[in-house]
Structure 1
Amino acid sequence: MRRRLTIVVAVALVVAVVAVVAVVGVGRWRDSHRSDLERAASYVPGDAQRLSWTDWAAVRAEVGARLDGSSSEREVRDLLDQGFDRDLTSASALVQSAPVLQARFGFSPATADWELFSQSESGAVVVIGMPENTDFDELADRLERAGFTRPSEEDGVWLGGDQLLPTLGADLTPELQFVALDRERHLVLTSDTADYLERAVDGLGDGDLPTGVDDVLAASGDPVSAAVYDGPYACGALAMSQADASDEAEGERLVDEAGGVDPLTGFAMSVQPGGHVRVAMAFETGDQARRNADSRSALASGPAPGQGGDFTDRFSVASATADGRVVRLDLAPREGTYVLSDLSTGPVLFATC
């Protein structure tokens, strides 16, 4: 009897170990198949409604800039100017602060791998991915020399506040008032609220974004810059109700002619490597996605009430496809246009709900 119990226990232990290994293996496989944007999004609080992404390593590559921690403020400004000209920096929360960050903080668009700005009704946090060889002891010393109060724990919140920032330089975003360092994940996190930043740090890696947001993140690939919204935010921020009465009426007529639209569960517009723009829109069902692939493509190929002129003045629709619950529009911008920065806020007819 004892031998039988021993065998049963041993088998149970083996099964448990195999199950754990399988779960870990699946987790590692999923992580290895996620984009940098998807991995970054897993670090933000689950109540995030709006995500603004800038892949700074990709921006530097796109403009041919080779910068490091010793680069001058002028070189940083040149990077930003060239990035702006290519519509690659409009999503960043750090642009106006970049020269001071380079000089005083030890991290900036010149050295960061990427930046994700997360906003919700509860608060906002900037998550900055740093290279693996980043010296976090040096970052901590730089923050202390700048006047931030060192936390009692290594992963705690560095206290700065609105009285400190003006002493460090002009035009610093309030999102830099409080800072946290995550050495294990090579992250710097900042916010204008200490409590919200502490919450973000405590929940790192536990973010559970809505399904529609996950869908459009996956469909966005590896963008250089992106604006990502959950369904309710997209349906408000991009709504034709923000236009004047005549443009709103024109929009309703065009939507009817296109065959109607369904509400979005997620929305993303991104600049891809090489400059083309991708729009990903998620819906409740695959049937809705297939219907909206046609109607949204038609709307994106016609007049742009609320924006002025026609969308064809800004881009051509290279393709419109439905895959599961997601519609993807691939747009080819006209020379000299700024599609992401112009159309990531409303009213945008082809993104209306």
Structure 2
Amino acid sequence: MPKRVTIMVVAVLGLALLAAAVVVGVHWWQGRDETTFEQAAAYAPSDAERLSWTNWSAVRKQVGSDLDAAFDADLSSASALVESAPVLESEFGFSPANAEWELFSQSAEGAVVIVKLPDGAAVGAVADHLDDLGFARPKDDDGVWMGGDTLLPEVGDNLTPELQYVALDADAGLVLTSDRDDYLQQVVDGLGDDEISGPMRSVVAASGEPLTAAVYDGDRVCRALAMSQADDDDQQTADRLIKEAGTVDPLTAYAMSVQPGGDVRTVMAFADDEQARTNADSRSTLAIGPAPGQGGNFAERFSVSSATAEGDLVTLDLSPKEGSYVFSDLSSGPVLFATC
């Protein structure tokens, strides 16, 4: 009898190990399939309402390390660190000049900048810089380095307040910064476990491997890009154009991104597939006409190369006209084809 018990226990343990191996395998393949943008967004806190993404490694391959060239190519406006770049490079040991990517997450609760260091870069070197600059070292490795608003002016000019407090994740090769130490600690404690909303994850995945992007949850996009920000005359014009275009349903998430070839992709999430099919028609119609609140016509800025509905997502692929700044101009409202 004891031998039979032993055999059963071994068999159960074998099945458990096999199941664990299957789970690990699934997660590994999911990681293989994810874009860099998705991997970065997975670090964002669950309360994120807006994500601003800059793939600095890809931007440098596209235009070089000159930030003026990145600005001219409409690839740097999403960054929270551009104005601070010279001091970051010389004093902090990381900057847009060597970072893999930057993700700026904003919510009603707080904001955090997440920077991925280049492969092989030692987080310890950043820690040494923080020590030298006068940041107070935390007791724990996953604690917050305390700087504050009085320290930054001593370090250098034009430093964003988001650099007041810093946290480091050596395993992931991340530097996280914020203007609030308590919020930063909250983000660090949930790093990798928190998840942004499902609709936000969907529009991030549908954005591919962009050079830069802005992502909004439903509530934020319906405030930030809504025609309610326009003056009365523009609102009346918008009401007429929307009525002529057809049904316009509320968005559950929204992403606008610059693709490697220079096109701008807009992805909109809706409550269901039927709304997506309806809005593919109405919003593509709005995207080729007048641009109340922005001035002129959208056709002066870009052409719509495709408009598709797949599941609950609508994707508009836009081809910018030479000299236009479609991404930076239309990442803030009012934007007629993105209104709720």
TM-score when normalising by structure 2: 0.98
**Per-residue deviation at 1:84?**
0.3
> May I ask how many residue pairs the two structures share in their alignment?
340
Partner of 2:295: 308
Partner of 2:191: 204
Aligned residue type for 1:258: A
Partner of 2:10: 10
**Per-residue deviation at 1:135?**
2.0
- Distance in 2 between the 1:274 and 1:80 partners? 19
**Per-residue deviation at 1:144?**
0.7
Partner of 2:286: 299
Aligned residue type for 2:152: L
2:29 maps to 1:36: no
- Distance in 2 between the 1:19 and 1:276 partners? 44
**Per-residue deviation at 1:255?**
1.1
The SS at the match of 2:267 is strand
Unaligned runs of 5+ in 2: none
Partner of 2:168: 181
Unaligned runs of 5+ in 1: 66-78
Q: Structure 1, residues 33-78: CA drift from partner, whole Å, max 9, x if none? A: 111111111111100000000011111111134xxxxxxxxxxxxx
2:63 maps to 1:63: yes
- Distance in 1 between the 2:236 and 2:24 partners? 54
- Distance in 1 between the 2:4 and 2:139 partners? 53
Aligned residue type for 2:224: A
Aligned residue type for 2:36: D
**Per-residue deviation at 1:331?**
0.3
2:255 maps to 1:268: yes
2:136 maps to 1:130: no
Q: Structure 1, residues 84-121: CA drift from partner, whole Å, max 9, x if none? A: 00000000000110001011100000010000000000
The SS at the match of 1:229 is strand
Q: Structure 1, residues 270-304: CA drift from partner, whole Å, max 9, x if none? A: 01112110000011111111111111111101111
**Per-residue deviation at 1:3?**
4.1
**Per-residue deviation at 1:10?**
2.6
2:331 corresponds, among 344, 347, 352, to: 344
- Distance in 2 between the 1:254 and 1:16 partners? 60
- Distance in 1 between the 2:124 and 2:315 partners? 43
CA contact (8 A) 2:44 2:194 kept: yes
**Per-residue deviation at 1:11?**
2.6
CA contact (8 A) 2:301 2:326 kept: yes
Partner of 2:82: 95
Aligned residue type for 2:28: R
Partner of 1:45: 45
**Per-residue deviation at 1:4?**
4.0
Aligned residue type for 1:148: F
The SS at the match of 1:236 is helix
CA contact (8 A) 2:123 2:174 kept: no
Aligned residue type for 2:305: A
**Per-residue deviation at 1:249?**
1.4
Aligned residue type for 2:119: E
Partner of 1:234: 221
Aligned residue type for 1:248: Q
- Distance in 2 between the 1:336 and 1:271 partners? 15
Q: State how 1:72-111 maps to structure 2 within 5 Å.
A: 79-111=66-98
Partner of 2:154: 167
- Distance in 2 between the 1:40 and 1:122 partners? 20
**Per-residue deviation at 1:332?**
0.2
CA contact (8 A) 2:122 2:173 kept: no
- Indicate the larger mover: 159-168 or 200-209: 200-209
CA contact (8 A) 2:267 2:316 kept: yes
**Per-residue deviation at 1:18?**
1.6
**Per-residue deviation at 1:5?**
3.4
**Per-residue deviation at 1:220?**
0.3
**Per-residue deviation at 1:82?**
0.5
- Distance in 2 between the 1:295 and 1:325 partners? 15
- Distance in 2 between the 1:122 and 1:84 partners? 30
Partner of 1:118: 105
The SS at the match of 1:228 is strand
2:248 maps to 1:283: no
The SS at the match of 1:84 is helix
Partner of 2:201: 214
2:128 maps to 1:141: yes
